Amino acid sequence: MNIQEVLSVKVKEAVKSIFDKDLPNVEFQPTRKDFEGDITIVVFPMLRVVKGNPVQIGEQIGAYLEEHIDEVAGFNVIKGFLNIVINDSFYLNFFNSISTIPNYGYVQESDDAVMVEYSSPNTNKPLHLGHIRNNLLGYSVAEILKASGKKVYKTQIINDRGIHICKSMVAWQKFGNGETPVSTGLKGDKLVGNYYVAFDKAYKEQIADLVAKGIDRKVAEKEAPILLEAQEMLLKWEAGDPETVTLWKTMNGWVYKGFEVTYKNLGVDFDTLYYESDTYLLGKDVVAEGLKKGIFFKKEDGSVWIDLTEDGLDEKIVLRSDGTAVYMTQDIGTAIQRVKDHPDVNGMVYTVGNEQDYHFKVLFLILQKLGFSWSKKLHHLSYGMVDLPSGKMKSREGTVVDADDLMADMTQTAANISEELGKLEDYNEEEKQTLYQMIGLGALKYYILKVDPKKRILFDPEESVDFQGNTGPFIQYTYARIQSILRKAESMGINISEDAKVSELHSKEKELIKQLQLFPETIQLAADNFSPALIANFTYDLVKEFNSFYQQVSILGEVDEAKKVLRIQLSKKVAQVIQDAFKLLGVEVPERM
């Protein structure tokens, strides 16, 4: 048991012994820096059970704890806060118990499986800034869930069919002259995206021509020849026309190769892929079954709906009058199919922007009404938009920021700032490029993940690569600094394999150990809340604590050998936890900077 668990048991015991009352729970918080103590018990919530003066209650409980717990060295009460002083030996024993544990804080994988969906792009254009936040969030949450002891399947559903895909195909047929990613030197997703833009341009020109001929704009928008061609192509695709299907496979194949490059550069991966072309008919049989059971109802026009008004929502269509599926039908079917494919899955996390909040409320409720036990463990990882300062990094269209361009821009920003700092004289060009990419992508990932997913982000590239403050590079730099200390310690022949035998701790050593103690519970909390921000901000607090320790105590210059060994061991453990925490965010750390 950690000290909080020990205290919790003993506080309840104290309340029973002194006041003959049963205390349901004990509330803790860190002791404020201006008071003596290591952990604070909040007395005020106890007043619901124990009547009396909070200071006197605190004094009585404090005296009981000091008498009954060896680790309690003293206490003081400030208003309704009981500050407990824990003796140094407790922290030293704790540190010695974790100092050589690899992956400290991580829990071994259990049979409790969860599927995390993220990315889920369309195959008619490249990934953009919004996809970056989606991918980083989904990947990080998957890694955090894994570290918390869950078995995790990472997945995406690729939107590879529909009118938008046909638009790129029609434009390529009309304007492409047979060009390919090989003949143009363009990434496949960029090439196909260009034809989606080309379609839109031709479509607008045709509308303008029709309007100029006196046709109503709304009619022109529906009757522009190029749109009719795209609609005709979709019908051919649905009918399995060989020529159309071959072109569809070819162009989608180009896009997938392009996506692979982006995913590799971003450092995200997937275990299972689903394609909308395989899933778009799923769910219709479930709707038919639900109709028999009275979960759904049919309207006069033959369309099928569900009435969720009693649940505070509204009526929702699940099948059109012509029998075709809507997105909701497909999502119902896909969720069920995923559990069939992975029978151990007991929950799912959908990483999708907050504009779909209502859709997922309805989806989860429908699956519950259909009686699937796993539906109670479905979570919509909803997130806000990412904005950029105006005028920065606009794409060719001037509206969407391309993911590849953004990553390249971040690497260049890191290179510019690193060159200005001028600390890379002994690096060769390849080492510099690797480091710039590590810093640039680390800055991007950390800046996005340190913010609560629900909040909108204003992403400032320059600010994110700052080597001071709550940034990825600041934390990476601290890690590299510790590696430098460890290399020097090794060259001095200092043996740190034995437990350090010190009789008391410096206050800065104690604070650092207290921060390390929080890592396992932070992982569990981040998993429970699907929030990488908790890991990011824990890591920043750890790094701040280490830098304060580094500035106030001597490490390699310490004359007392036992203290020196402890400080090197502490530094090493801090570095390991930084690396393990950053791994959960998908961020790499450099051995030197």
Per-residue pLDDT, 390 = 64
Taking a C-beta distance cutoff of 8 angstroms, is the pair 311, 363 a contact?
no
Residue (of 193, 177, 183, 118) closest to 153 by Cα position: 118
Q: What percent of the chain has pLDDT over 70?
A: 98
Residue 399 binned pLDDT confidence (cut-offs 50, 70, 90): low
Q: Read off the pLDDT of residues 347-385 as tens digits, 9 standing for 90 and up.
A: 999 999 999 999 999 999 999 999 999 999 999 999 998
Task: Say what the pLDDT of residue 384 is.
Answer: 92
pLDDT digits (tens, 9 = 90+) for 133-162: 999 999 999 999 999 999 999 999 999 999
Structure tokens at 317: 């269509």
Q: What is the dihedral of CA 271, 275, 281, 285, to 10 degrees?
A: 0
The yes-or-no verdict on residue 288 having pLDDT over 80 is yes
* Ranges of H-type helices in 187-326: 188-212, 217-223, 225-238, 242-266, 276-279, 284-292
User: φ and ψ at 273, to 5 degrees?
Assistant: -115, 140
pLDDT value of residue 391 = 47
395 pLDDT tier (thresholds 50, 70, 90): very low
Instruction: Report pLDDT for 3.
Output: 84
E strand or H helix that includes residue 386: strand 386-387
Q: What is the pLDDT of residue 324?
A: 87
DSSP 498: S
Given a contact cutoff of 8 angstroms between Cβ atoms, the answer to whether 298 and 291 are in contact is yes
Measured CA distances, 389 to 394, 398, 463, 579 (Å): 10, 13, 11, 31
Q: What is the pLDDT of residue 396?
A: 39
Return the pLDDT at 59.
97
pLDDT digits (tens, 9 = 90+) for 526-579: 999 999 999 999 999 999 999 999 999 999 999 999 999 999 999 999 999 999
Cα 350 to chain centroid distance, Å, stands at 12
Residue 398 has pLDDT above 50, yes or no: no
Tokens of 195: 């034809």
For 107, counting Cβ atoms within 10 Å of its Cβ (0-12 exposed, 13-18 middle, 19+ buried), the class is: middle
| Model confidence at 416: pLDDT above 70 | yes
What tens digit of pLDDT does each residue of 79-91 get?
999 999 999 999 9
How far is Cα 588 from Cα 443, in angstroms, rounded to an integer? 10
- State the pTM of this model: 0.93
3-state SS assignment for residue 159: strand
Query: CA 535: distance to chain centroid?
Result: 10
pLDDT for position 394: 42
DSSP category for residue 44: G
Q: What percent of the chain has pLDDT over 90?
A: 89
pLDDT of residue 459: 87
Given pLDDT bands bounded at 50, 70 and 90, which one contains residue 4?
confident
Tokens for 96, please give them.
Answer: 């010695």
d(CA 161, CA 175): 21
Q: What is the pLDDT of residues 316-348, one digit of tens each?
A: 999 999 988 899 999 999 999 999 999 999 999
The 10s digit of each residue's pLDDT in 12-69 is 999 999 999 999 999 999 899 899 999 999 999 999 999 999 999 999 999 999 999 9
Is pLDDT at 425 greater than 80 in this prediction?
Answer: no
Cα angle 399, 401, 403 (rounded to 5 degrees) comes to 155
